[in-house]
């Protein structure tokens, strides 16, 4: 494991705190923190916003190991120009803070070629560009032998963001002048790639994925795995030969298995995606981990927190990834609301109501069988409660719930359910799922101390012609379309929130980065365990006449 030593001289306490957080993140990604320079290490990172002493500069450059000049170091610390000379760069100031689009440089992208070639043409984790809110260093002159790894455009000129000069062993990382640009996910990923480049960390091979279960969600995983660089569909397993055959039509290079045991014994599989009914999630996850494979499990994570804890414990013990496919964390409406909350547009959020449902018979598959699915709280609740807990990260102090069984007596799930979550800071969030809702509530009703968001359902129609030329109309269920979001401010103004486009297959892309690069995902196993604890408490509360229950 490569070791970094650090020379940090920052007068801005916020920037110093962000760099301290970054050190922990990089350590978690496999670059061990060796302490303060001149501790022995494989590379030295210098992050300074004020002049360094001549002795410190000389010691760093004479250390005989790669040196990383990060953040504002070249702007403010390089009094005599020795660092700039070693880096081979001459700057003339910086732009104001703005949305910087960082791309692979136009000189051949050695960063992408060295680190990111997974058989998909290179640039797997780099992508077209990465957004980072920061100041761009305006570079007037680039010396001989300087590799331009990453760059950003300012007007018609391209300015290097990351450079590497092998002859002097200096990596410049010109981002990180403001705290948010130090710890943002995109910036951390790019810095990690640059560090791996200069430390000659071997390029990771593709993560070979095996699908356990190939229903509708299995096909979704197949499509994502085949689309995401860094992942490779290696095997598919289903008890139905027809489903295996259908899967291999889309991925003829994959191997087909008829039993889970055969899949788990496949040495050509690194990661197992468990898409079986919920009651079997934990047993198959444990079996995959014990076979030495990473695991992604469909929602819910498990039926009980005891099962989830066992899965997470084995994963931690073996250094493997155990994650739950919380794909709706990336829904456009949730992303928009989360962005509005983070921007302070609502003030402090203290009340949330979320609703999904309609009036109609539930499906007759295992989703509506409480013994297999865990019940109504474990189906849509696994999605929406995850969103609610993401919006209010405070500790949960109590859960109350109620279930009604009134009409659909041929299935065992409740017809109507409501769960209310009380948080330590005083906020409250309620989720209602109903198959008896002849009138729909808003999808979202979020109140804050400065404003509110209301999410309105919309009904979309897909029009086409039938085989004989007549009109054919397919009316989508409300939940199949993102709701329209209105932001209400305290003065009574109403603004339609944009629902941003999301990175395709973001969960799977982050999964590849987590396994190959060690970066932290947006959705962790611990977060999914928290969702499960609330669902479990809701079931207990409903069984006890809506008595408050503290999640385990």
What values do phi and psi take at 376, rounded to 5? -60, -35
In terms of phi and psi (left: phi > 0; alpha: psi -120 to 50; beta: otherwise), the region of 311 is: alpha
CA within 13 Å, CB half, 500:
11
CA distance 242 to 239: 9
In terms of phi and psi (left: phi > 0; alpha: psi -120 to 50; beta: otherwise), the region of 428 is: beta
CA distance 422 to 428: 5
Count of CB atoms situated within 10 Å of the CB of 99: 8
In terms of phi and psi (left: phi > 0; alpha: psi -120 to 50; beta: otherwise), the region of 535 is: alpha
Residues counted in the chain: 552
Tokens coding 192: 């990690």
Q: Which residue has the tokens 């962000």?
A: 18
In terms of phi and psi (left: phi > 0; alpha: psi -120 to 50; beta: otherwise), the region of 419 is: beta
CA distance 109 to 520: 25
Tokens coding 399: 């859960």
Q: Which residue has the tokens 């199949």?
A: 480
Tokens coding 471: 């009109």
Cβ proximity of 483 and 457 under 8 Å: yes
Cβ proximity of 527 and 387 under 8 Å: no
What are the tens digits of pLDDT across the range 363-395?
766 667 777 777 778 888 999 999 999 999 999
328-543 falls under which CATH superfamily?
Dihydrodipicolinate Reductase; domain 2 (3.30.360.10)
Domain boundaries, the chain: 3-198, 207-325, 328-543
Strand-pairing partners, residue 461, are 475
CA distance 147 to 167: 11
What's the average pLDDT block by block, 10 residues per block, for the chain (552 residues)? 95 96 93 95 96 92 94 84 93 93 70 41 58 94 92 92 95 96 92 91 90 92 94 96 95 96 97 94 97 96 96 97 96 95 96 95 73 78 96 97 92 92 97 94 97 93 84 82 93 92 87 91 95 96 96 94
pLDDT at 106: 63
CATH code assigned to 3-198: 3.40.50.880
> Which secondary structure element, helix H or strand E, spans residue 187, and what is its range?
helix 185-198
> Which secondary structure element, helix H or strand E, spans residue 463, and what is its range?
strand 461-465
Q: Do domains 3-198 and 328-543 have the same CATH topology?
A: no
Cβ proximity of 315 and 295 under 8 Å: yes
Nearest by Cα to 208 from 293, 123, 299, 318? 293
Strand-pairing partners, residue 452, are 447, 488
CATH number assigned to the domain with residue range 207-325, chosen from the 4 options 3.40.605.10, 1.20.120.80, 2.60.40.3080, 3.40.50.720: 3.40.50.720
């Amino acid at each position: 494991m490569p070791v970094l030593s650090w020379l940090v001289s920052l007068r801005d306490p916020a920037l110093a705190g962000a760099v301290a957080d970054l050190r922990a993140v990089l350590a978690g990604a496999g670059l061990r923190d060796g302490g303060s320079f001149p501790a022995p290490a494989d590379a030295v990172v210098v992050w300074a916003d004020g002049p360094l002493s001549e002795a410190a500069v000389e010691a760093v450059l004479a250390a005989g190991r790669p040196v990383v000049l990060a953040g504002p170091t070249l702007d403010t610390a390089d009094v005599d120009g020795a660092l700039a000379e070693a880096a081979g760069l001459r700057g003339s100031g910086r732009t104001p803070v703005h949305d910087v689009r960082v791309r692979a440089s136009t000189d051949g992208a050695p960063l992408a070629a060295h680190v990111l070639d997974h058989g998909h043409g290179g640039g797997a984790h780099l992508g077209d560009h990465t957004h980072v809110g920061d100041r761009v260093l305006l570079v007037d002159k680039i010396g001989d032998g300087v590799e331009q790894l990453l760059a950003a455009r300012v007007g018609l000129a391209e300015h290097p963001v990351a450079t590497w000069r092998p002859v002097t062993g200096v990596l410049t990382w010109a981002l990180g002048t403001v705290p948010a640009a130090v710890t943002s996910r995109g910036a951390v990923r790019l810095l990690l790639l640059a560090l791996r480049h200069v430390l000659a960390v071997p390029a990771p091979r593709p993560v070979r994925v095996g699908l356990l279960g190939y229903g509708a969600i299995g096909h979704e995983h197949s499509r994502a795995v085949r689309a995401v660089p860094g992942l490779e569909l290696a095997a598919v397993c289903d008890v139905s030969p027809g489903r295996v055959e259908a899967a291999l039509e889309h991925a003829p290079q994959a191997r087909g298995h008829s039993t889970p045991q055969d899949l788990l014994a496949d040495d050509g599989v690194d990661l197992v995606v468990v898409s079986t009914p919920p009651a079997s999630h934990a047993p198959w996850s444990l079996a995959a981990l014990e076979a030495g494979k990473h695991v992604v499990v469909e929602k819910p994570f498990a039926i009980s927190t005891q099962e989830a804890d066992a899965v997470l414990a084995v994963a931690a013990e073996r250094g493997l990834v155990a994650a739950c496919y919380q794909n709706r964390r990336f829904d456009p409406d949730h992303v928009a609301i989360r962005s509005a909350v983070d921007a302070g547009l609502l003030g402090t959020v203290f009340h949330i109501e979320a609703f999904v449902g309609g009036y109609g018979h539930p499906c007759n598959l295992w989703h509506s069988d409480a013994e297999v699915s865990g019940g109504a709280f474990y189906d849509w609740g696994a999605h929406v409660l995850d969103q609610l807990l993401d919006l209010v990260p405070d500790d949960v102090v109590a859960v109350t719930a109620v279930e009604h069984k009134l009409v659909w007596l041929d299935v065992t799930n409740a017809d109507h359910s409501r769960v209310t979550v009380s948080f330590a800071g005083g906020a409250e969030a309620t989720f209602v799922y109903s198959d008896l809702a002849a009138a729909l509530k808003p999808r979202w009703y979020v109140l804050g101390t400065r404003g509110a968001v209301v999410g309105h359902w919309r009904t979309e129609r897909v029009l086409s012609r039938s085989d004989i030329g007549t009109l054919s109309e397919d009316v989508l269920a409300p939940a199949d379309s993102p709701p329209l979001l209105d932001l209400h401010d305290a003065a009574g103004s109403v603004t339609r929130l944009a629902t941003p486009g999301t990175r395709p297959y973001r969960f799977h892309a982050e999964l590849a980065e987590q396994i190959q690069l060690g970066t932290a995902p947006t959705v962790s196993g611990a977060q999914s365990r928290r969702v499960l604890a609330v669902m479990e408490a809701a079931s207990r509360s409903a069984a006890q006449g809506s008595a408050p229950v503290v999640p385990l």
